[in-house]
């Protein structure tokens, strides 16, 4: 299975009013994403600037209003304050997973490349 196939979501669950998004990937992994983490790591230029690694930026409305597919490689999330410019690639989302098996060691910082 290629990397692209491995990180392709087969199901996305984001219950209205919930505080997490769950993604089942083609390789059987279930990713868990608190809305606060997704919003804080929004990869758009408004939140992150135009260069450097994606970092956690606190703040912003964490109510997820909508999500949609971007081609066959990403999701676009729309937040309660209307912010919708972040395109979360499937590869980026897989790396951002907050499940117990994917979290870094306590105290370790997460760094993500764009894309």
Which has more pLDDT, 3 or 95?
A: 95
Residue pair 67/75 in contact (Cβ under 8 Å)? The answer is yes
C-alpha–C-alpha distance, residues 113 and 107, integer Å = 20
pLDDT at position 110 = 58
Domains of the chain, by residue range, sit at: 3-96
pLDDT tens digit sequence for 93-109: 998 987 778 776 655 55
User: Would you say the C-alpha torsion 74, 36, 82, 59 has a positive or negative sign?
Assistant: negative
Mapping DSSP to helix (H, G, I), strand (E, B) and coil, where does residue 46 land? helix
| Each residue's pLDDT tens digit, 7-35 | 899 999 999 999 999 999 999 999 999 99
**Whole-number average pLDDT of the chain:** 88
- Helices vs. strands in the chain: H and E counts, helices first: 4, 6
Give the CATH fold of the 3-96 domain.
NE0471 N-terminal domain-like (3.30.2020)
């Amino acid at each position: 299975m290629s990397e692209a196939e491995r990180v392709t979501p087969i199901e996305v669950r984001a219950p209205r009013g919930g505080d997490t998004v769950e993604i089942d990937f083609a390789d059987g992994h279930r990713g868990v994403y608190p809305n606060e983490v997704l919003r804080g790591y929004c990869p758009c230029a408004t939140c992150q600037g135009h260069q450097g690694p994606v970092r956690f930026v606190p703040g912003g409305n964490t109510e997820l209003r909508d999500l949609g597919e971007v081609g066959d490689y990403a999701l676009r999330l729309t937040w309660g304050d209307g912010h919708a410019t972040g395109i979360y690639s499937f590869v980026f989302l897989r790396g951002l997973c907050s499940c117990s098996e994917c979290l870094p060691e306590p105290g370790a910082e997460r760094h993500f490349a764009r894309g």
